[in-house]
Amino acid sequence: MEDKLLRVDMTNLSVVEEPFPDDWRYLGGRALSARILLEGQDPACDPLGAEALLVLAPGILSGSMAPTSGRISIGAKSPLTGRIKEANSGGQAGQHLMRLGYRALIVRGKPTDPDQRWVLEIGEEGVHLIEKSELKGMRNYPAAEALLQGKDKRASTVICGPAGEMGLTGATIALTDMDHRYPTRHAARGGLGAVMGSKGLKAITIDPGRAKFRRPAREQAFKTLFQTFAKEYRAGKQPLKNGTATVVPVANMLSTLPTRNRRAMQYDKHEGLDGAKILANYETRGGKQHGCMSGCIVQCSNIINDPDGHYITSALEFETLGMLGSNCDIGDLDVVARLDRLCDDLGLDTIETGGAIAVAMEAGALSFGDAGAMIELLDKEIEAATPLGQAVGNGVVATCEAYGAMNRVPAIGGQGIPAWEPRTLPVTAITYATSAMGADHTAGLVTRTKNPDAAQASQFAQVVNMVCDSSGFCQFQILRLEDLRQFYNAIFGVDWDGAEIYHHGFAALQDEWEFNRRAGFTLDDSDLPDWMREEKVPSNDAVYQATRDVLERVFTENYDDSALKIRASG
């Protein structure tokens, strides 16, 4: 099957299919999204205007037989930060689009009637834009059910929730998981849901029908590679098989568990948030570990039931436990599960939302630890657009502005800081400062390194995560750059050496940095806020200390063969 590109124009409601450009043949996922955004729009444009693009680009291995490799990148100019943004997600959309031959989907324009809602239906028999304005304002769980009703059980959907329809800059784009019902996977960060909402595009449904796995250029080499890889993984330690929620005690020990608006990084009630409880509860409540997409051999995603065995949420991760839990002084995993469910239903980023609520708590708008007020806020005030709901829905910086807390903004590059704490983790701090996307732990988290050159350590991490997010592999598969190189060679039929795969990743980072430069950002915008140089983490006295010289060195390619041993995801 020939590779294709799908262009959707929401102004004139047209859908055009084109051959995939040969110039982009080695680009997928995040790298492809960056190139499309850089070449296809003015980076200085209004991110919610008609000219702005929304890109869906599956990784290059999505739709293939490689394990844990079906992820998708969703990219746009972020309405939260004004910078380029890519958010990577599991779910079935990446697998399905690639099996149907779609290497990318590019959406531009906006309908003249702001009350119209449209659904893009993609299947073996063609692609159609259908007006479904009756879905306007519908939350993600009921919307997923309505969108998939009557469709083949393999079908999946990508949805803009109410937060995105309202243009809130903390809004996500939700994707259904392997169970085909639950919109629990999210392209979560950067307010991408608001971009989708601005286009009147409520959802995309994809029915892969009987579309087959994608075939690599070197079939036997590819088969041997993925079989060996899967066997070695299963025989190894499998560090994330119980999910990131089980990281809570370690994060607390390391002083990277944000507590009460990051005033501390160790939490006295952290045991109440330990993901080990989720595993223990499976026996009495039901629930299980599962894969969010077909072919996942890690299965880090949890399904969480209440004490009566009723489903609450799934994919409750460390970041959510840190940001909606300890950072808001909530030490009860079941409460965080309910807050997570509300965020999934509204289409809100749990990291940005937890950071914003903690700011509002410190300002006195609600009290730390008040679970009832948090549930009320998410369940009622977001859609009612109260002043507090608007502030929190628009993220950390907007909440600091609304409550006069601009002297201590827990955001970097306009994006709320994730749970992983940059003062405690100095190389991660450099990543947050220099990443085109600001405070993003998936851009190059480094929890420990033997590399004495912090700038190079951050660059290595950013390159391997870029290649991983472009490949379709999940970062939780924890591949080395060398593993990714071998998969690229087998799928494309090339013989890239270490320097070439590294350069491939670095060039994509340069595309992202160039987008930001054209959007008006300079090197001076690549740093952490001053308060992080002054306010010590109480449990380890850490402050942010990176110098301008160190930060600037990240932007110059600095490869050596040790980069091939670096793994994605810290």
Binding site for ligand SF4 (CB under 6 A): 68, 90, 291-293, 296, 298-301, 474, 476
Q: Are 34 and 86 in contact (CB under 8 A)?
A: yes
CB of 187 to ligand SF4, least distance (A): 13
Beta strands in 262-369 (DSSP E): 289-290, 301-305, 311-314
| Cα distance between residue 198 and residue 302, in whole Å | 32
Tokens of 317: 């991760």
CB of 448 to ligand SF4, least distance (A): 21
Beta strands in 10-125 (DSSP E): 14-19, 54-58, 72-77, 84-89, 102-108, 118-123
Q: What is residue 331's three-state secondary structure?
A: coil
Distant-in-sequence, close-in-space partners of 96: CB < 8 Å, separation ≥ 6: 63, 122, 154, 156, 206, 207, 208, 211
238/558 with CB nearer ligand SF4 = 238
Specify the long-range contacts of residues 366-375, CB closer than 8 Å, at least 24 apart: 368/260, 368/328, 368/329, 369/328, 369/329, 369/330, 369/331, 371/330, 371/332, 371/335, 374/324, 374/328, 374/330, 374/335, 374/339, 375/335, 375/338, 375/339, 375/342
92/255 with CB nearer ligand SF4 = 92
168/296 with CB nearer ligand SF4 = 296
CA dihedral for 282, 93, 349, 437, sign (positive or negative): positive
Q: How many CA atoms lie within 13 A of 2 on its CB side?
A: 9
CB of 276 to ligand SF4, least distance (A): 17
Please state the φ and ψ torsions of residue 170, each to the nearest 5 degrees: -100, 15
278/388 with CB nearer ligand SF4 = 278
What is the secondary structure of 197-228 as a DSSP string? Answer: HHTTEEEEEEE-TTPPPPPPSSHHHHHHHHHH
Specify the long-range contacts of residues 502-507, CB closer than 8 Å, at least 24 apart: 502/463, 502/557, 502/559, 502/563, 503/557, 503/559, 504/26, 504/31, 504/467, 505/31, 505/462, 505/463, 505/464, 505/466, 505/467, 505/470, 505/481, 506/459, 506/463, 506/466, 506/557, 506/559, 507/31
CB of 463 to ligand SF4, least distance (A): 20
239/520 with CB nearer ligand SF4 = 239
243/393 with CB nearer ligand SF4 = 243
CB of 233 to ligand SF4, least distance (A): 11
68/327 with CB nearer ligand SF4 = 68
178/333 with CB nearer ligand SF4 = 178
CB of 361 to ligand SF4, least distance (A): 30
CB of 519 to ligand SF4, least distance (A): 30
- H or E stretch at 160: strand 156-160
301/435 with CB nearer ligand SF4 = 301
Distant-in-sequence, close-in-space partners of 549: CB < 8 Å, separation ≥ 6: none
Q: Are 465 and 443 in contact (CB under 8 A)?
A: yes
CB of 365 to ligand SF4, least distance (A): 33
Q: Which residue is nearest to ligand SF4 (CB)?
A: 474
CB of 70 to ligand SF4, least distance (A): 7
265/445 with CB nearer ligand SF4 = 445
31/292 with CB nearer ligand SF4 = 292
Please state the φ and ψ torsions of residue 352, each to the nearest 5 degrees: -65, -40
CB of 2 to ligand SF4, least distance (A): 28
58/272 with CB nearer ligand SF4 = 58
Please state the φ and ψ torsions of residue 206, each to the nearest 5 degrees: -130, 120
Q: Which of 291, 216, 293, 297 is nearest to 487 (CA)?
A: 216
Beta bridge partners of 102: 4
154/290 with CB nearer ligand SF4 = 290
Q: Which of 456, 445, 450 is nearest to 256 (CA)?
A: 445
| Cα distance between residue 461 and residue 224, in whole Å | 27
CB of 247 to ligand SF4, least distance (A): 13
Q: Are 238 and 271 in contact (CB under 8 A)?
A: no
CB of 438 to ligand SF4, least distance (A): 22
CB of 28 to ligand SF4, least distance (A): 16
